[in-house]
Amino acid sequence: MSGADNVVWLGTPAFPEAAREALADTRLRANLRRATGTIRDKRLAVAAELDDWEELRETAATIKRRTLRHLDHHLLRLEKAVTAAGGTVHWAADAAEANRIVTGLVEATGEKEVVKVKSMATQEIGLNEALADAGIRAYETDLAELIVQLGGDRPSHILVPAIHRGRSEIREIFRREMGEWGRPAPETLTDDPRDLAEAARLHLREKFLRAKVAVSGANFAAADTGTVVVVESEGNGRMCLTLPETLITVMGIEKVLPAFADLDVFLQLLPRSSTGERMNPYTSLWTGVTEGDGPRDFHLVLLDNGRTATLADEVGRQALNCIRCSACLNVCPVYERTGGHAYGSVYPGPIGAVLTPQLVGVENAASLPFASTLCGACYDACPVKIDIPEVLAHLRAEAVEAKRRDRLLPTTEALAMKAAAAVLSSPKRLAAAQRLAAFGARLVAREGRIGYLPGPLAGWSATRDAPAPARESMRAWWRRTRTNRRDKGRTTAKGKEAR
Amino acid sequence: MRIALFITCFNDTMFPRTGQAVTALLERLGHTVEFPQGQTCCGQMHFNTGYRPEALPMVRRFTEAFAGYDAVVAPSGSCAGMVRDHHRTVAAQYGDTALTEAVEQVAPTVYELSELLVDVLGVTDVGAYFPHRVTYHPTCHSLRMLRVGDRPLRLLRAVKGIDLVELPAADSCCGFGGTFALKNADVSNAMLADKMRHVLDTGAEFLTAGDNSCLTHIGGGLSRLRTGVGTLHLAEILASTEGDSR
CA distance A19 to B147: 31
CA distance A322 to A326: 9
A440 or A387, greater pLDDT: A387
CA distance A343 to chain B (A): 13
Residue in A377, A399, A469 nearest the CB of B14: A469
Per-residue confidence (pLDDT) for residue A5, from 0 to 100: 61
Mean pLDDT of A96-118: 97
Mean pLDDT of A242-250: 97
Q: What is the DSSP letter of B90?
A: H
Per-residue confidence (pLDDT) for residue B246, from 0 to 100: 65
- Whether residue A492 has pLDDT greater than 50: no
Mean pLDDT of A259-287: 97
Per-residue confidence (pLDDT) for residue B243, from 0 to 100: 81
Contact across the interface for B40 and A425, Cβ inside 8 Å:
yes
Residue of B nearest to A381 (CA): B144
Q: Do A377 and A332 contact (CB within 8 A), yes or no?
A: yes
Mean pLDDT of A3-8: 66
Per-residue confidence (pLDDT) for residue A4, from 0 to 100: 52
- Whether residue B142 has pLDDT greater than 80: yes
Per-residue confidence (pLDDT) for residue B225, from 0 to 100: 94
Mean pLDDT of B34-47: 97
Task: Note the Cα A47 to chain centre separation in Å.
Answer: 21
Per-residue confidence (pLDDT) for residue A497, from 0 to 100: 42
Per-residue confidence (pLDDT) for residue B104, from 0 to 100: 97
- Report the percent of chain A where pLDDT is more than 70: 96
- Whether residue A231 has pLDDT greater than 80: yes
Give the predicted TM-score (pTM) of the model. Answer: 0.94
CA distance A112 to A207: 12
Residue in A373, A379, A424 nearest the CB of B177: A373
Contact across the interface for A491 and B189, Cβ inside 8 Å:
no
Residue in B17, B37, B171 nearest the CB of A496: B37
Interface test with B, best of A32, A403, A474 (most B CBs within 10 A): A474
Judged by average pLDDT, the poorest of A53-62, A371-380, A485-494, B63-72 is A485-494
Contacts of B185 in chain A (CB under 8 A): 16, 459-460, 462
Q: Determine how β-strand A297-303 pairs with β-strand A88-92.
A: parallel
Q: Who contacts A418 (Cβ-Cβ below 8 Å, separation ≥6)?
A: A410, B54
Residue in A16, A375, A491 nearest the CB of B183: A16
Mean pLDDT of A464-486: 87
A276 or A458, greater pLDDT: A276
Residue in B16, B179, B221 nearest the CB of A477: B16
Per-residue confidence (pLDDT) for residue A496, from 0 to 100: 43
- Whether residue B172 has pLDDT greater than 90: yes
Separation in Å, CA B243 to CA B26, B126, B157, B232: 17, 15, 20, 18
Contact across the interface for B182 and A460, Cβ inside 8 Å:
yes
Residue B233: strand, helix, or coil: strand
Residue of A nearest to B85 (CA): A390
pLDDT band (50, 70, 90) for residue A459? confident
Contact across the interface for B15 and A470, Cβ inside 8 Å:
yes
Separation in Å, CA A271 to CA A39, A245, A320, A325, A498: 11, 29, 19, 8, 57
Contact status of A431 with chain B (Cβ, < 8 Å)? no
Residue of B nearest to A455 (CA): B182
CA distance B210 to B168: 18
CA distance B48 to chain A (A): 6
Per-residue pLDDT tens for B86-141?
Answer: 999 999 999 999 999 999 999 999 999 999 999 999 999 999 999 999 999 999 99
CA distance A413 to B50: 11
- Whether residue A274 has pLDDT greater than 60: yes
Mean pLDDT of A237-262: 97
Mean pLDDT of A68-79: 98
Per-residue pLDDT tens for A275-325?
Answer: 999 999 999 999 999 999 999 999 999 999 999 999 999 999 999 999 999
pLDDT band (50, 70, 90) for residue A446? confident
CA distance B123 to chain A (A): 26
Residue of B nearest to A420 (CA): B46
Smallest CA-to-CA distance from A370 within B136, B188, B121 is with: B188
Contact status of A460 with chain B (Cβ, < 8 Å)? yes
pLDDT band (50, 70, 90) for residue A1? very low
Mean pLDDT of A236-254: 97
As beta bridge partners, residue A300 has: A89, A249
Contact across the interface for B182 and A337, Cβ inside 8 Å:
no
Residue in B37, B140, B177 nearest the CB of A498: B37
What ipTM is given for this predicted complex? 0.96
Per-residue confidence (pLDDT) for residue A3, from 0 to 100: 45
Residue A149: strand, helix, or coil: helix
Per-residue confidence (pLDDT) for residue A495, from 0 to 100: 41
Per-residue pLDDT tens for A335-363?
Answer: 999 999 999 999 999 999 999 999 999 99
Contacts of B178 in chain A (CB under 8 A): 373-374
CA distance A123 to A248: 15
Contact across the interface for A469 and B13, Cβ inside 8 Å:
yes
pLDDT band (50, 70, 90) for residue A412? confident
Per-residue pLDDT tens for B42-83?
Answer: 999 999 999 999 999 999 999 999 999 999 999 999 999 999
